[in-house]
Each structure stands twice: as structure tokens, then as C-alpha cells.
């Protein structure tokens, strides 16, 4: 009987200890550093973001282990509303209260403390498409014709960058060793992160490859019956 009592007491003590250990580790506060991406909202149709000092805000979060586990499962962002923004530089103080945190967690520090953004008015321009061919046709062949469809496309984006463009170029098209005509869908290369194609999609490039006429084996020989 005494052995049973001691065994029961030992089991109960163990269960209580495990429960207290779990409670302590579940409620004790710890810190964790996370990068919160900056996301812009309500950007006006005639405005382009051409520069930003940081793409994410690094925050240190204090909270229980359970709260930080919940945080890991959340999609967190730092929102910046640009509804009334005008072209030019803009500075926004980082307000950590805008970052949604789970219950039991809070932001204790953030870096940077401000975001600097450059905004520019939007422009558009229609430009000719130039195919970028790499290599040469096979020996005895020639590229006789190149067609592009569409021949011109509309670009839009930051005004200062759009107006400087005189044409757009396709991605490279390999014609090395070609012996027959072909067509290929390719994308264009604008060369700027702040300018884009209005109607996204590839262009079609048709390359005509012809065989060169072969020279006659009799060329240069004397005509039959000609006296020397």
C-alpha cells in the first residue's frame, strides 16, 4: 500500500512539474527580429514610384513563444498609403502601430525610422520594335527578310525615362547556322524597371532564310568550239 501511495504521489508531482514547465515556457517573453515588407496602397494611376530607401522594415518583436509562433504563420506587411501623394520626394515616418501583431506580441524597435520615396508623373510613348538577331545563317545561306508583329508598341512609365527611349529591342534571337525560315515569339527588353509595355505579351518575329544561288561549274570556261 505504501508503495502505491508513493508511486501515485511521484506521478502527480511529475505531472504538476510538467504543467508548470509548459506554462512557464509558453508565457515567458522572448524577442525576435523579422523583416516586414513595405507595401504601397492606393497609388494614383498617374504616379510611378521610382525610388525607395528601403523595401522592408526590420522590427524586433517581444512576446510569448506562443504569440511568436502565431506571428510566423501570419502574412505581415508595413502599409504605406499614397492616395494624395504628388510627384517629387516624400518622407514617411515609420509607425510600428500599423504592423498587425498577434495577441501577446508587440514591436519594441524598428529600423529604419523613416522611409524616403521618390515619385514621378507617368508618361507614354509608341515605339518601333527592333529584333535583336545573334549569329549568322549557315554557309551558303542568307537572312533575306525580317518581319515583326506588331511593328510598334505602346510603353508607359516614369515620364523622364519614357521620353528618352527611341525604340525597344526584343530579347536575343539565335540565328547561328540557320538553313530555313522560322518564326518565334519573343519578349521585349525595355531596359528600365520603371517603364513597361502597356499590353503585356510577346511579339512575333519572322526570319526568312534563303539559299544563295550556286555558281555554275562552267563559269569562266571557254565556250565549246572556240578556237584559241
| 8 assigned to some structural domain | no
pLDDT at 4: 52
| 225 assigned to some structural domain | no
**One domain, residues 146 and 171:** yes
Into how many domains does the chain fold?
2
**One domain, residues 72 and 82:** yes
pLDDT at 22: 53
Q: Per mean pLDDT, which range of 6-15, 128-137, 187-196, 208-217 is the poorest?
A: 6-15
| 197 assigned to some structural domain | yes
CATH number (domain holding residue 73): 2.170.120.30
Confidence of residue 59 (pLDDT cuts 50, 70, 90): very high
| 109 assigned to some structural domain | yes
- Half-sphere exposure at residue 179, Cβ-oriented, CA atoms within 13 angstroms: 2
Residue 225 has pLDDT above 90, yes or no: no
Mean pLDDT for the chain? 86
Last residue of a domain, one of 81, 97, 121: 121
Average pLDDT of 163-187? 95
pLDDT at 7: 55
Residue 6 has pLDDT above 50, yes or no: yes
Residue of 127, 129, 142, 148 lying closest to 205 (CA atoms): 148
pLDDT at 10: 63
Last residue of a domain, one of 121, 152, 186: 121
Q: How far apart are CA 119 and CA 155, in angstroms?
A: 18
- Beta strands across the sheet bearing 203-211: 141-149, 203-211, 182-186
Strand partners, 41: 81
Which pTM was predicted? Answer: 0.69
pLDDT over 90, % of the chain: 66
Average pLDDT of 154-159? 96
**One domain, residues 88 and 167:** no
Tell me the torsion sign for CA atoms 155, 161, 163, 167: negative
**One domain, residues 159 and 189:** yes
Residue 102 has pLDDT above 60, yes or no: yes
pLDDT at 16: 64
Confidence of residue 26 (pLDDT cuts 50, 70, 90): very low
Amino acid at each position: 500500500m505504501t508503495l502505491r501511495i508513493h508511486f501515485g504521489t511521484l506521478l502527480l508531482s511529475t505531472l504538476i512539474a510538467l504543467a508548470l514547465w509548459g506554462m512557464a515556457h509558453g508565457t515567458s517573453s522572448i524577442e525576435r527580429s523579422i523583416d516586414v515588407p513595405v507595401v504601397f496602397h492606393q497609388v494614383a494611376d498617374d504616379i510611378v514610384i521610382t525610388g525607395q530607401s528601403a523595401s522592408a522594415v526590420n522590427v524586433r518583436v517581444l512576446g510569448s513563444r506562443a504569440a511568436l509562433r502565431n506571428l510566423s504563420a501570419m502574412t505581415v506587411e508595413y502599409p504605406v498609403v499614397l492616395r494624395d501623394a504628388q510627384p517629387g520626394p516624400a518622407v514617411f515616418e515609420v509607425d510600428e502601430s500599423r504592423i498587425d501583431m498577434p495577441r501577446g506580441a508587440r514591436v519594441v524597435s524598428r529600423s529604419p525610422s523613416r522611409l524616403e520615396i521618390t515619385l514621378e508623373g507617368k508618361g507614354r510613348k509608341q515605339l518601333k520594335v527592333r529584333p535583336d538577331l545573334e549569329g549568322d545563317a549557315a554557309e551558303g545561306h542568307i537572312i533575306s527578310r525580317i518581319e515583326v508583329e506588331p511593328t510598334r508598341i505602346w510603353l508607359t512609365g516614369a515620364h523622364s525615362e519614357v521620353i528618352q527611349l527611341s525604340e525597344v529591342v526584343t530579347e536575343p534571337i539565335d540565328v547561328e547556322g540557320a538553313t530555313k525560315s522560322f518564326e518565334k515569339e519573343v519578349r521585349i527588353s525595355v531596359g528600365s524597371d520603371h517603364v513597361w509595355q502597356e499590353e503585356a505579351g510577346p511579339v512575333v518575329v519572322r526570319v526568312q532564310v534563303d539559299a544563295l544561288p550556286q555558281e555554275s561549274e562552267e563559269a569562266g570556261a571557254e565556250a565549246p568550239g572556240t578556237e584559241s
